[in-house]
Structure formats: C-alpha cells, structure tokens
C-alpha cells in the first residue's frame, strides 16, 4: 500500500520464545490501533531463533535478558534528521518475569510490558494517564490507549484522511 510504513517487530526472546505470545499480541494490538486511527504504520511480527539484541534498521528488535533485579524492561533507539525512529531495541527482564514470578508466556503482565515497550520503540514517552496509555509506567492496559495513539499521531504527523 502506498504511503504505508511497514515495521518488522523481530522477536529474539530466548527460551523458546518466552515472550512470543505477549510480543505477538502487542504487535497486533498496536497495528490494529494505528490502522483504526488512520496512521499509516503496520507492525509485522517475526519470530527468530536468536537473541543477540543487535540493532537493525527499520526494525524493532525485542529480546530478553536476565537482569537479576526488578527492572521490567527498557527500550533504546536512534532517530534520523527528521526525528523519526530509524531502529529500536526493546529488552525484557527474564529474571523478574520468569525466574521470580514464574509468569507464563501469555500472562497479562507480559502483554502490558510488551505494549509499553513497543510504544517507546515507536517514539512515545511515558503517557500521562494510566487509564488511557499503555506507555504510562503505572498502566494496566494490554493494548494501546487513546492517549498513545493521539500522541503518536501528533508527534509524527501521521494522521491522514
């Protein structure tokens, strides 16, 4: 489709894709919300059997680490001269989610974190309201909220129609 930016979400989580169901769910949720808002970005989930956490242009790489602490996840990225994200890497903490809490791959807490970190990978800062933003640190949303979509549309001037 003309004018649509397709972004690969490359799932490199270890342990047989311990984050696969959550990352796949969040990828679909973000893609559907963006399409419904008329924002021409499509996220496509891609599961791969590596976990090198390396950056790849035009790709959101998702990987897992064992942090031996209570950090949940973090995302880092680089932007081009136009301010749009060139690449992003989101890391999830296996120690906290798997080892301490023994959460299954499809646990709501994992879906919440996947939504949150994909929002950062798309360029969003922490949202103001935990009821309308999965990118708010206190949010319990598993899918992007109204605030997330509005902020992305404004920040990147992607709304059309």
pLDDT in tens, 83-107: 778 899 999 988 888 888 889 989 9
Looking at residue 127, its pLDDT comes to 83
Identify the CA nearest to 24 among candidates 9, 40, 42, 6: 9
Per cent of the chain over pLDDT 70 is 92
The residues near 6 (Cβ < 8 Å, ≥ 6 apart) are: 41, 42, 44
Mean pLDDT check: name the lowest of 5-9, 68-72, 137-141.
68-72
Predicted local confidence at residue 33, as pLDDT: 96
Split at pLDDT 50, 70, 90, the class of 26 is: very high
Which residues does 2 contact at the CB level (< 8 Å), separation at least 6?
none
- What does the pLDDT average to over 105-117? 95
């Amino acid at each position: 489709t003309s004018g649509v930016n397709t972004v690969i979400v490359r799932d490199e989580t270890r342990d047989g894709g311990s984050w696969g169901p959550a990352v796949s769910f969040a990828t679909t949720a973000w893609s559907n919300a963006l399409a419904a808002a008329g924002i021409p970005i499509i996220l496509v989930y891609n599961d791969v059997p590596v976990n090198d956490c390396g950056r790849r242009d035009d790709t959101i790489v998702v990987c897992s680490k064992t942090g031996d602490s209570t950090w949940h996840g973090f995302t880092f990225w680089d932007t081009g001269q136009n301010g749009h994200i060139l690449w992003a890497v989101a890391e999830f903490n296996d120690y906290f989610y798997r080892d301490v809490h023994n959460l299954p791959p499809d646990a709501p807490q994992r879906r919440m974190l996947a939504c949150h970190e994909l929002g950062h990978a798309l360029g969003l800062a922490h949202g103001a309201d935990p009821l309308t933003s999965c990118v708010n640190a206190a949010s319990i949303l598993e899918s992007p909220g109204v605030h997330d979509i509005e902020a992305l549309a404004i920040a990147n001037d992607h709304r059309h129609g």
